[in-house]
Chain A
């Protein structure tokens, strides 16, 4: 391989994915690694963080730094890492169980904090790694291992949730359309703030309802219609659309200060590069408070 070819695959890991053949997650993985290369990021300056679930093996299939956290806690780990070193590019990748179930609280709080990271959820509307139970995004009526008479709870709406929580970049992609996914990932990486992409990523083994074919018949791109992604109300209305037609693309994008720009310490320095301890601080300014 020549230098250019090597450069193109520099984010590809040495370990081969163990996802099922045909899994939707492959689409997001290849789109992500190629966009990272295209945009000139370096694997040692990039950290990919995940939780638990099929999709959360994502970091292992790349050459970047990574943290494979416990279930549902990828976002807090990303937050801690980002705050101590905002110069790293952080991507959080996980599934719907991880992000919309056990970790949904962190999803809301990370969104409202507007930390400058990308969060991608491979949403297959099923628990795959535990062999086929319903997920918070499972469609009503879906018969799964834990819902023999069909899912009777309404599914979570990740787009509305992200908008309501104050995410500053909200998008949906479809892993059957990697070209569009690449576009969304590129826009998310370039966005300053919390960028969220809900990725429709069919499970070919356990979800026989929401298949590639099922989505292909329904998805359309907001970029193809006259849609103003700077309007929050329009974004909310569009986020409610699900059924015969499913919108993909960027629902909303806005720019406000990020947390590393407002935190009294992070806005001035990258703390991991600072000297340790209190040697440089006037002792009296510390101890007078206690007298």
Chain B
């Protein structure tokens, strides 16, 4: 061997039909690299297809921390022909394609393969898999993995450990996989270059986790006691992770008959004193609208996770969008206070879920955690999170006190926050009601409706409910700059696009003569007005990047902070945004045409 190539980062894609076992192989690979101390970042490309179709798993492995992925590929695993058709053009010059010669004919790509100096490893994966076990075609993945390990001079023993853990309960399947891995590893790939991943210096005991699992873990650490949820992409893995751990965590986890039931169930559980949560995506969230308003009106703390997918209606269930923001701000009829948090990365999925529960209890409001497909289904390795977190349950009334000698559920107070009591607390019996009510929660919709005394109470109650969120603003976090504060250009974003935007900022700072930074928001609503203004004032030229057509966050800034962006870019095809895409969109703007 003559040459040696050292990679600081490998971008790879694993493509095939649904049911080929791509996602589970992708996860095993991430756990493998994690155990070697590398940084991993994965995102699935899924369809609403259980078997067949075209799905992929994108994975980046790096020697330093990463929070984004790139379209350009170092390695493409093509388990079927469609993978080549769709992704061939993304393979870099000198890249690698590992493919299944039993079913993939590469003839039409031969010229380009030569032109791009792509190293093609074409081997009969199906035949080899069949030779090990006639029914387990999924073994093709493991064979390909063996080839990959060999190509990059990676240690095979560590992958044995990963397989042993994965198939600990089934020794036969483990044996098949170990055999398959060795077959791939022994395959003569005829490469003339020695490829290596640069040395890792990360921790060896990080965890590989996705956004939904982090939200679930954050909820459990916060003292979640009741989860009711109806399955929906991309929120289902919150339900399945917590169902799997229900007994261990002491959380009652129930699958509801629909989302209407789910949110009303958690309202009942919260009335009883339990921290309660539901999770869904657009279609299910729309169904929850009425009950969401009830929770706000009755000042019942609940946490609702909306993992956004592309809408409206069924939309594109397995793709991301940030188009629910305005509907979350106005979810339900009338005017009902709430808080909305949009995690910007996997770490914040935990932190903001903890915050969501404390804010819900303290201010007695419904709180929305606004994730999206790209964040919920994204996997990354991070250090173990600290599960010992601060829990604030707010004003709980247990017996007469000097401040609250007699229990009145909606007592008018300085900050608008009244005491809560749970059955069977004696002397606190009251009826929770969605009709406008007085301090003792007596309905004003019946015989007292329209009487002058009710007018006064109505106005005071509206004031009281909104006073709470005014107070909440004091403990909200403002947006954060990435890069120097006085940059020439600022890209503004919110939620899960932060990683790609920040990487774009780094690249722009290197490749252009201007300085760039980003300003990202996670505490979306109510907008922390003062903190937001302070940051916005420092911006010289702003470019808003959000994944919706109607400039929803831009509208918010204009409405609440009286501030206008200079320019905007957007990306609406449903795929997770990449740094180069963001850069490309920026240079398509009129202002940058000549750059």
Contacts and interface: CB of A to CB of B under 8 A. Distances in A.
B140 interface: no
A3 interface: no
A269 B257 contact: no
Given A49-B268, A67-B431, A80-B264, A278 B220 contact: yes
Given A274-B250, A276-B275, A277-B222, A68 B260 contact: no
A104 B255 CA distance: 18
B387 interface: yes
Interface of chain B, main secondary structure:
mixed
B258 interface: yes
B424 A88 contact: yes
A263 interface: yes
A290 B209 contact: yes
A78 interface: yes
Interface residues on A, range: 35 or more
Interface in B287-303: 290-291, 294
A83 B425 CA distance: 18
A211 B388 CA distance: 62
Which of A18, A44, A59, A274 has the most C-beta atoms of chain B within 10 angstroms of its own C-beta?
A: A44
A88 B273 contact: no
Given A277-B389, A278-B387, A291 B221 contact: no
Which of B206, B249, B267, B430 has the most C-beta atoms of chain A within 10 angstroms of its own C-beta?
A: B267
Contact of B225 (A43, A109, A272): A272
A77 interface: yes
Interface string B417-444: 0000011111111111111000000110
Interface residues on B, range: 35 or more
Contacts of A276: 222-223, 225, 275, 391
B151 interface: no
B226 A84 contact: yes
Contacts, number: 192
Interface string B188-207: 00000000000000000111
Given A65-B429, A67-B432, A73-B291, A290 B208 contact: yes
Interface in A73-125: 73, 76-85, 87-88, 105-106, 109
Contacts of A87: 424
Contact of B265 (A77, A283, A287): A77
A8 to B, nearest CB: 18
B464 to A, nearest CB: 19
A45 B423 contact: yes
Contacts of B269: 80-81, 83-84
B257 A277 contact: no
A180 B179 CA distance: 74
B273 A272 contact: yes
28 contacts: A18-B446, A18-B447, A44-B429, A57-B443, A64-B429, A65-B423, A65-B424, A66-B430, A67-B268, A68-B435, A69-B434, A76-B262, A76-B265, A76-B268, A77-B264, A80-B264, A83-B254, A105-B258, A264-B246, A265-B247, A265-B250, A271-B250, A271-B251, A277-B389, A278-B249, A291-B31, A291-B34, A291-B208
State the 5 A-B residue pairs at the shortest beta-carbon distance, nearest first.
A276-B223, A80-B268, A77-B268, A80-B265, A290-B207
Interface of B: 31, 34-35, 165, 205-209, 213, 217, 220-223, 225-226, 228, 245-254, 256-258, 260-262, 264-276, 290-291, 294, 384, 387-389, 391, 422-435, 442-443, 446-447
